[in-house]
Amino acid sequence: MSEQSAARIGVYPGTFDPITLGHSDIIRRGAKLVDRLIIGVTTNPSKNPMFTTDERLAMVRREIADMRLGNVEVVGFNALLMKFARAQGASVILRGLRAVADFEYEYQMAGMNQQIDDEIETVFLMADVSLQPIASRLVKEIALFGGNIAPFVSHAVCEDVERRVGEIGRQGDY
C-alpha cells in the first residue's frame, strides 16, 4: 500500500469506567475522521476503578455494537499510550475535551506524547455542549450516593453501574 493510500488509524484511549454518553459522542464523531478507530481501554494507577478491565472492555464493546460503527474496534492495553498507538499503526490520538481544565491537562499530555513520538498527532474534539458536564468520576459518585445517572449513560450502562453499586453498597445517610 502506498503512503497516500494508507488507512488513517486513530486511537481513542481512556479508562471508560464507565463509558458515558460523552464518550459515545466522541467515538461517533471520531469514527468519521479516520478509516479505523481503536478504542483503547486502559488502566490508570491514579484512578480507583469501579469495574475490572475485562468488565470495561465488555461494556465498551457492547456500546460500540449498539452504535453500529463498522470501523471501530475495542482493544485493552496496559502500556505507554504512544507505544500502544505505534503498535496499532495509528497516526492520530483522539482526545475529548469538556472544559478548560481538560485542555490544560490534555495540552501537557499532547506535548509529552509529541516528545515520545512526533509522527503521531493528537486531535482534540470538543464534547457536545449538552454532554460537557459528564465525567465518569461524577457518574460513579452520583450512583454511589443514590442519584439518577440515566441522563449521563446508556440504559445498559446504567444497569451495570446500579448492579455494581448494589454489590458494593451505597454511600451517605439520605
Is residue 104 included in any domain, yes or no? yes
Q: What are phi and psi of 46, to 5 degrees?
A: -85, -5
Backbone φ/ψ region at 164: left (φ over 0), alpha (ψ -120 to 50), beta: alpha
Q: Please give the pLDDT value at position 163.
A: 96
Is residue 1 included in any domain, yes or no? no
pLDDT tens digits for range 126-174: 988 888 889 999 999 999 999 999 999 999 999 999 999 999 888 766 5
Q: Please give the pLDDT value at position 2.
A: 47
Radius of gyration of the chain from Cα atoms?
17
pLDDT over 80 at 69, yes or no: yes
Is residue 174 included in any domain, yes or no? no
pLDDT tens digits for range 83-117: 999 999 999 999 998 877 778 888 889 999 999 99
Is residue 2 included in any domain, yes or no? no
Per DSSP, what are the bridge partners of residue 74? 39
Q: How many domains does the chain have?
A: 1
Give kind and range of the element (H or E) at residue 168: helix 155-168
pTM of the model: 0.91
Report helix, strand and coil shares of the chain as percent, to nearest 5: 45, 20, 40
Is residue 3 included in any domain, yes or no? no
> CA nearest 150: which of 159, 51, 96?
159
Q: Domain with 118 in it: what CATH number?
A: 3.40.50.620
Is residue 33 included in any domain, yes or no? yes
Is residue 137 included in any domain, yes or no? yes
- Write out the residue range of the structural domain in which residue 16 sits: 9-168
Is residue 133 included in any domain, yes or no? yes
Residue in the block written with cell 461494556: 59
Supply the residues annotated as catalytic: 23, 47, 98, 136
